[in-house]
Amino acid sequence: MEFTPRRILDNALDAVGNTPVIRLDKIAAEQGLKCNLLGKLEFVSAGGSVKDRIAKAMVLAAEKEGKLIPGKSVVIEPTSGNTGIGLAMACAIKGYSVVITMPKKMSLEKEALLRALGAQVIRTPDEEPWDSPRSHIGVACRLQREIEYGIILDQYRNINNPLAHEYTTGPEIIASVISTPSTRTRPSSMKVNAFIAGAGTGGTITGVSRALKKTHNADCIVVGVDPIGSILAVPDSLNISGEGNPYVVEGIGYDFIPDVLSRDEADVNHWVKTCDEEAFKAVQALMRKEGLLVGGSSGSALGGALAWLKTEQGRRVGETEGLNVVVLLPDGIRNYMSKEWFLKNAFQTEHSDLATRISGILAQEEIMPVPQASL
Say which DSSP state 127 is in: T
Radius of gyration of the chain (CA): 23
CA angle 8, 13, 17 (to 5 degrees): 95
DSSP conformation letters of 190-242:
SS--EEEEE-SSSHHHHHHHHHHHHHT-TT-EEEEEEEBTB--SSSGGGGSTT
Measuring CA to CA, which residue among 297, 271, 276, 275 is closest to residue 286? 297
Residue 51 known to be catalytic: yes
State how far the Cα of 341 lies from the Cα of 6, in Å rounded to an integer: 38
Burial of 344 (0-12, 13-18, 19+ CB in 10 A): exposed
Catalytic residue among 40, 51, 56, 213: 51
Query: Are 182 and 188 within 8 A, CB to CB?
Result: yes
Alpha-carbon span 137 to 355, nearest angstrom: 49
Catalytic residues, which ones?
51
